[in-house]
Structure 1
Amino acid sequence: MNKKVTILNDKHQRPPEFSAGSCTVTVYSLQPWWRVDLLAQYQISSVVITNRVDCCSQRIDGAEIRIGNSLENDGNNNPRCAVIKYTSDSSSYNFSCNMIGRYVNVIIPQNGTTLTLCEVEVYGVLGAISLQTDVALGKIATQSSSSYPMFLAPFAIDGNRDSNVYAMSCSYTDYYFKPWWRVDLLIEYQISSVVITNRGDCCPTRIDGAEIRIGNSLENNGNNNPRCAVITDIPAGSSSTFSCDMIGRYVNVVIPKNGAILTLCEVEIYGVPAVTKKINLRVKFHTSEDMIDSTTRHNVFQQFQMVSALKLYWTQEPELEHENKGFSDPSPVHYIQR
């Protein structure tokens, strides 16, 4: 169960007025930052930031949340969870991270500004060891179109959440009919969640309405597989987590409308290899075919496969039973229940 592992405000409240005496503020400086040391590694699921509202609320625009174990550059070089995009609609911002680290930083990466935080909440569980990892790393990605070599599909699974599309770490399709992106995990996985990082430097609403689909079929390029989620909104430069609890080899992101561009700055897929059951089955059948011929054996086997929902494999070649009844005694058939 996730719990709140640190807070900025001792009263466990979120007063967004600086005059309440519950906010921190830096001096006007070069790339101002704030950091909390959790004293141990945590699996951090989310970070909630409460902004000042009585003055200067827009100052937080462009601030970055970074999480990791390094104190290089005061911790500001750790991997990025999200970029804060200022909005007047809310004083608190909730960012999904699903990252491991001891240090959580908030930094404004620009010269000459002030950082004010009225609350920082970090939610997670103690201990960095997890059975689930990002299984998309190093796998095979493709997409519906790609006219530019700096926006190729594999850039969305390079382990880098940089949301500037020109940093060569995002995938980007052409303006296309129902654009899609797909990763082949090479084997089936029990997928618990998918994390999507949206483009931060432009056009964040383009991803609205995109669907995450997971399964084993390549029909319609994998876009007919069961749906995990519909992306309603991901703020610019932010990462959102979608719970799936599904099994599949292929994970697709598709925008199901005509004339759109799909941009993904990172796709993380968390899960474990799917468990399969192996059982031996012995079958006796009558046939007039010559089972000594390998082609004939293959054709008979395919007939078995057509009437079975399972994947079948010979473990031994069929043998002829020496009886007057003329039955063929095939080998056991090894099948995998999925």
Structure 2
Amino acid sequence: VVGRYLSVQKLGGIFLSLCEVEVYGHPAAVSPDPPSATPAPVLTNVALGKNTGHSSAGWGGVSSRAVDGSQSGDFTAGTCFHSNRGDIKPWWAVDMGSPQEVHRVRIINRQDCCSGNLATITIAVSDVMPAPPLGQEISTTTAVCTYQAGPLTDAEYTFTCDTPVIGRFLSVQKQGGLFLALCEVEVYAQSATASPAPPSTPAPALSNVALGKNTGHSSAGWGGVSSRAVDGSQSGDFTAGTCFHSNRGDAKPWWAVDMGAAQEIHQVRIINRQDCCSENLATIKVAVSDVMPSPALGQEISTTTAVCTYQDGPLTDPEYIFTCDTPVVGRYLSVQKLGGRFLALCEVEAMGRPVQPVASGAGSFLDTCMLRI
């Protein structure tokens, strides 16, 4: 028998007398106390001061501001991230440096203005930095921590993941609306071993493949030759000598750039004329093709080109971004006004990357894309 105490008891009678009791045995292991519950993990803010990324940034509100440690909700204090115009599904992301098991996320909302912009957001983690084209949703293969639908106007929110999620990169994306502003994002997590991302060859980064390239036009007036629209200037002032301008008598003016080789175009940015007549940017078609456009004066560019977007109404803002739902491919990019007085383009940036050209006789690349404003 095993135990610490031994007893002798008389179960009846007057007295019990024992002159010596010797107990022969050897030490025995006893059952240990049941193990205590696993202690809760110690969580720390693994986002503070880390590298960040974003779909766009406006008014100086770069993504790094959201992990600078400031607790201020005042954008004018210079400590908040803010997306830019034309970004209809803005996102922000942080590289936590290594895979982390994320339990909760704390967000400090903008409070000096527009706090209701924090709405319809998805918080997710992944093993790669998000890089969707402008206006597109981050891949659904990321592990979603939480989705919040309604307007969130409070000064701060703490979101607890439905179940802890593991990944190296955490993103916050707004699924629709005007802007995304994040004054601070704190990610509470502990180190974890995540499954490595499958090996893949990263796609080349997008760059402005129109800058400094050869250009063409249907007409040019007042010295506004087509090459001015790819000179790199960001000015919207025609008098500065950096804008293309069509001439009188050109009923369907067009401008085009030879990008030198077939390019996979993801988005096109146009800087509009601002010193005068900005409304002239209207009823335009942006397209790519495998041949330089050469319609007769007053005629529309061939419909066999791959149309990126058609925009009917006047566009009076300083700039516009056109983003393709799926990339379009071609060597030549054109902008044509389909009716009205003049076409003025102060800068055209074609954001794309090189692709292998189609062999002779194989046909042209055709696809469609839509306007993102």
Higher share of residues assigned helix: 1
Instruction: State the TM-score, normalizing by the size of structure 2.
Output: 0.42
Higher strand content, 1 or 2: 1
